[in-house]
Structure 1
Amino acid sequence: MGEAARSPVSDALWRRPNLLLLLLVTPPLLWLGIVYLGSLFALLAQSFFSIDEFSGLINYEFTLKTYGELLRASNLDILLRTVAMASAVTIAAAIVAFPIAYYAARYARGKWKAVFYLGVMLPLWSSYLVKVYSWKLILAKEGILNWMFETLHLAWVLEAYLAIPVIGGNSLSVSWTGTFLVFLYVWLPFMILPVQASLERVPPSMLEASGDLGARPAKTLRHVILPLALPGIIAGSIFTFSLTMGDYIIPQIVGTSARMIGQAVYQFQGTAGNIPLAAAFAVVPILVMGIYLTLAKRAGAFDAL
């Protein structure tokens, strides 16, 4: 009886493939539209409200006053600091990831390629908090990194570096350098994998042709390999830049007391109760990434994707 009831339904879906496709894509589209886009629009709406200075309650009237507060010196400093950190992490990740990805794409074969994927993916399988707290111990004054400098009689080099304003501090674990190193370690796999996948699509014949035409390795790298690897670098930079901008755990555990956007959002919507300002801060990474993706598309970075 059950099979008899299912038969007309199966026949109807078989005769109308568009109906079957609609039934399959409706649940994820509803999830995307209601949960994801709905929450973004709710966030955007909250940013156009303001806090009453006397009562501390939200004033549900359309205003741009909250966005004006982002231009205050203290808030603008948070925005600039976050964008600078995200840019530095992204550039460093691309520099570190490229030779690793190039070796894996051009030379690693068989079990060595499996070892490569295992080495890149293994940090992603461990707890995020465990990795951050492990780095805090490594970078602390009593940590292994400080011990290594002392063992090599290079403690004076580390002390001189920590004495540099802005990037230094009492120890690496309470400095912007420490925050940068932890960000770089945590997000590096998100840069390596797209670059490696992009480099694997570069035909060896193009490199051979470049050499046959008299190009030296440096020129081949600059004019052949890098342009073809650009889509992977762009894809990896989207991950590293956006994840760094929105993260609040790493700068909360490792680094100075100066805040980044993620910390500002967490504190304003939590302890301060200023949800409109928290929403305005949260909109900034969305706008920055939108501008970045637009410029990358106009530059033709996505043509080879």
Structure 2
Amino acid sequence: MPLAPRLRERAALAFLLIPPLGWLILAYLGSLAVLLVSAFWGTNSFTGKVVHTFTGDNIVRVLTDPVIRTVTLRTVAVALAVTVLCAVLAVPLALFMAKFASPTVRIALVVAITTPLWASYLVKAYAWRMLLSPEGGPLSWASGWSPGYGLVATVITLTYLWLPYMVIPVFAAFQRVPDALVDASSDLGASDLSTLRLVVAPMIFPGIAAGSIFTFSLSLGDYIAVQIVGGKTQLLGNVIYGQLVTANNQPMAAALSLIPLLAIVLYLLAMRRTGALESV
């Protein structure tokens, strides 16, 4: 291809990228910059209005308050638990869909997994509230036991809500595994377990990593589900919401918001170090 047409093509492509990149910088990175700056503001103790004077009190409180530390650790633990449960459920389901199910069954399973994404978040959360109710709920009525409302109910509900975000990338990863490679491993004497562990697992790990980014980040920032099924359980999203709406303390809410933002960045860096994101 001649050099001049190639340069014109690249210039046209760069011109087309200006609007979305400009929107990204303005709406996303700009809002993050405002969030970072507002974390160093204060509030008037009498009126509650934001005072645009530099102070590090909010950051100091976030770093030293034992209650915030406990809520942060609980939130990260819930996000990790949801991610692990989603992976445990998604891997066998995706394996069956990609390698064993007939085309008709595969399509039916894909539809069944993705259809809940079209339903309202609140409808699904309240459905689980009714299901997990300790006072005559369906689960309690059928089995005589229910976890009730609390941390366990929160993990179960979030796992249900975010499971499709793990199944789809893992399913796509299994589809990319060549059947000939699995057959070759079997022909060379490897057991089914060894083939899954040494051949298939490294190839589907990027799919699991991609799905885990969704499940971890969505669980880390959720505050609605825990209000519906969490009982007295408090996660970081609830504390941020309380500071912003109930306490009317926007700078403190901004300072608290830096915690999940930092956690997600660290998680992305950890996934990048594994090399998984380069293979997605």
Query: What is the TM-score of this pair, normalised by structure 2?
Result: 0.92
Structure-1 residue corresponding to 2:36:
44
Q: 1:271 to 1:298 in 2, by over 3 A?
A: same
Could you give the per-residue CA deviations for residues 74-114 of structure 1, whole angstroms, max 9, x where no partner exists?
A: 11111111001001000010001100001111122322221
Structure-2 residue corresponding to 1:124:
117
What SS does the aligned partner of 1:172 have? Answer: coil
How far residue 35 of structure 1 moved from its aligned partner, in angstroms, is 0.9
Structure-1 residue corresponding to 2:19:
27
Which of 246, 249, 253 is equivalent to 2:228?
253
Could you give the per-residue CA deviations for residues 6-30 of structure 1, whole angstroms, max 9, x where no partner exists?
A: xxxxxxx999434432432222112
How far residue 237 of structure 1 moved from its aligned partner, in angstroms, is 0.4
Residues 240-279 of structure 1 mapped to structure 2, 5 A cutoff: 240-279=215-254
Tell me if 1:109 matches 2:102: yes
How far residue 221 of structure 1 moved from its aligned partner, in angstroms, is 1.4
Structure-2 residue corresponding to 1:142:
136
Unaligned runs of 5+ in 1: 1-12, 150-154, 159-170
Residues 95-106 of structure 1 mapped to structure 2, 5 A cutoff: 95-106=88-99
Give distance in 1, aligned partners of 2:271 and 2:147: 34
Could you give the per-residue CA deviations for residues 99-154 of structure 1, whole angstroms, max 9, x where no partner exists?
A: 000111112232222101101111111111111111111111211111111xxxxx
Residues 56-135 of structure 1 mapped to structure 2, 5 A cutoff: 56-70=48-62, 71-135=64-128
Give distance in 2, aligned partners of 1:241 and 1:56: 34
What SS does the aligned partner of 1:174 have? Answer: coil
Tell me if 1:225 matches 2:218: no
Letter in 2 for 1:281: L
Is contact 1:173-1:179 (8 Å) kept? no
Letter in 2 for 1:103: F
Give distance in 1, aligned partners of 2:43 and 2:197: 53
Residues 119-198 of structure 1 mapped to structure 2, 5 A cutoff: 119-140=112-133, 141-149=135-143, 155=144, 158=145, 172-198=147-173
Give distance in 1, aligned partners of 2:7 and 2:43: 57
Structure-2 residue corresponding to 1:8:
none
Query: What is the TM-score of this pair, normalised by structure 1?
Result: 0.84
Give distance in 1, aligned partners of 2:42 and 2:78: 29
Give distance in 2, aligned partners of 1:127 and 1:56: 35
Letter in 2 for 1:223: L
Q: 1:15 to 1:296 in 2, by over 3 A?
A: closer
Letter in 2 for 1:80: L
Letter in 2 for 1:125: W
Give distance in 2, aligned partners of 1:202 and 1:76: 43
How far residue 59 of structure 1 moved from its aligned partner, in angstroms, is 3.7
Give distance in 2, aligned partners of 1:202 and 1:124: 27
What SS does the aligned partner of 2:278 have? Answer: coil
Unaligned runs of 5+ in 2: none
How far residue 64 of structure 1 moved from its aligned partner, in angstroms, is 3.0
Structure-1 residue corresponding to 2:184:
209
Give distance in 2, aligned partners of 1:83 and 1:278: 18
Give distance in 1, aligned partners of 2:233 and 2:55: 29
How far residue 55 of structure 1 moved from its aligned partner, in angstroms, is 5.6
Is contact 2:150-2:233 (8 Å) kept? no
Is contact 2:151-2:233 (8 Å) kept? no
Aligned sequence identity (%): 40
How far residue 48 of structure 1 moved from its aligned partner, in angstroms, is 2.1
Deviates more, 1:42-51 or 1:193-202: 42-51
Could you give the per-residue CA deviations for residues 151-181 of structure 1, whole angstroms, max 9, x where no partner exists?
A: xxxx3xx3xxxxxxxxxxxx63412111111
